[in-house]
Chains A and B, each alone.
Chain A
């Protein structure tokens, strides 16, 4: 007589990437009780969070455009403390660790609030224990690129000297964790940055200013350092990606979404074409999560199901699981489709809540 514990939600979201987070936020915003399940973070937490609308497949574009979806995305991320900047139709240049510029329509503010190519003096700051971020390399590349494009920006490289007793972390993620938890360490780092900020208009540094840092806190740091700062995405584990995920998780929890992460789904509970819920593969006994509407946001390599077959009844697929995207446009598709999926799921979910 094995009792499988059951939890009920109005809307259940499967997947914790950008699509899953937006869908969950959308459904919660309509007043639904939302549960979000995921085995682990997806590509979003490994990447830099930039969103590119330029290469989006035109046939995805509805007559009314994307304004509602983008508005929702921008307000949600701002509320989460991971503000984005950008406008549809415009491009932002984000520096990369290869000394190129990556172009995006929307970019998180950790990359700064300005075009790095229009400044006069840019200092690329190397950290003593990070091998994956080579300031001299990046500066050399950016400099030669500027000259080729006829720009006058001056790029120089400097090494940061942090006055700190203990051993410095070797990985950006460890550095960021210490930045979060140890106020003295934080202070030492910010002081060190301030001392190289001298004559620079911009500092380009690896992404290390904490995993829990909000945009407001970033602005404070810039203020203290006395210079604009642009954090650059490095090889995984990605601090910038994790930061975005944490901020969104925090927002979701504050708005009442219940996060149940860490366990794979063993099956979808189907009744004909209607999905009753899912079974979570927890140790000992599975746990059953039931919902009126289910949003599938499991990414491009979904093992769960062939998403396209389930669009009939109460299952709404969004993001990479739609298999419409290649890496470049995955985030744009996520924003657009997740809002729609979340709000549609919420319509069903709200009916359920009223019963």
Chain B
């Protein structure tokens, strides 16, 4: 029996998945993972058109899959259904655009100052709202221009290929530098010449874009891995995509499927890498008296590696880190930019915002770029990648 069919048979309709869904919590009529996943999957096999507007409200946070005691995969079923759903109107056009941030990233990086000015100006945002239904409440993230420097020859035998992801590559070169500096303490570093990991394409259900990402990245990452390198990823959405989704999405392709398995086995989240493989840094960690509010991104939880950065940050003397214990920040990558989903996104994130406000930290830390955006938008507290704290502790 096909693996997908077998998993469909596992469902006992216990609705545990519904109880874990952050969207169901705040949107009363949302069908939920059980209805959109296993319920409709049996009907889809009849060839009945099961497209429904509710599919696009799934954030693909994967909480349903984690909680399911029977190993059903509602999020995967929904992701496939999204790909079959026709993209109509302005929103459809927008979703297809948002599915490929690589293109926009490269364009804007040509003249970043001008792009930032243009994208963040009121008239453009008004236009984006009218033409693309992109909410005016948020400003587009800035594109960066600083060049990144890498020293040749690291100090230890580890070979590291750093997969930056679109956000770090195009929007946060400062962060990119911090990651490279830290990684170079552990070995030789090369920046992967990959394209977008494909999460936006998966989330927006654009198959062509997704396949392009899968094919390109698998081809470009495998040689390094076969050469003994480890792939290190600083953005948890990218690392989750490489570890969990690439093998699943390519499971029907015997050749690429195997390649994806090998890549997944050798992919590490940055925190995971530092904790499990990295030796203690030669330089001493200088004390930092800061109170940090930590938010664990959904895609980190989905990797089952615990909270490596909480442990790493606590090794810096005088740092206080508290895990906010919130479920989902509500941003879900491109989800929160969409006009019709803005309110929902903020409602879902409210638990996290209140927890941060109550804790009143010096700053917030989280490994996911869009989680950081959401935290800054919802609380006005600065949000950094935890590696930037470590970087400061090492370089001061």
A-side residues, CB < 8 A to B, are: 1-3, 5, 38-42, 45-46, 129, 167-171, 173-174, 177-178, 181, 236-237, 242, 260-264, 280, 282-285, 287
Contacts and interface: CB of A to CB of B under 8 A. Distances in A.
A5 B276 contact: yes
Contacts of A280: 304
A61 B70 CA distance: 32
A284 B267 contact: yes
Interface string B238-268: 0010111000000000000000000011110
B16 A287 contact: no
Given A40-B68, A263-B304, A282-B305, A174 B265 contact: no
Interface of B: 14-16, 18-19, 24-25, 28-29, 66-71, 228, 240, 242-244, 264-267, 272, 276-277, 301-306, 350-351, 354
Given A3-B277, A236-B15, A237-B16, A284 B303 contact: yes
Main secondary structure of the interface of A (DSSP, over half): loop
A40 B16 contact: yes
A284 B67 contact: no
Please give me the 6 A-B residue pairs with the lowest Cβ-Cβ distance, nearest first. Answer: A40-B69, A282-B304, A284-B243, A283-B244, A262-B66, A283-B243
Contact of B69 (A39, A260, A283): A39
B67 A262 contact: yes
A242 B16 CA distance: 9
24 contacts: A1-B228, A5-B276, A38-B69, A41-B67, A41-B69, A129-B28, A168-B28, A170-B28, A174-B25, A174-B28, A178-B25, A181-B350, A236-B15, A237-B15, A237-B19, A242-B19, A261-B66, A280-B304, A282-B304, A283-B243, A283-B264, A284-B265, A284-B266, A285-B265
B24 A174 contact: yes
Contacts of A181: 350-351, 354
B362 to A, nearest CB: 25
Contacts of A170: 28-29
B24 A283 contact: no
B19 A2 contact: no
A167 B28 contact: yes
Nearest to B22: A177
Nearest to A287: B304
B28 A283 contact: no
Contacts of B240: 283
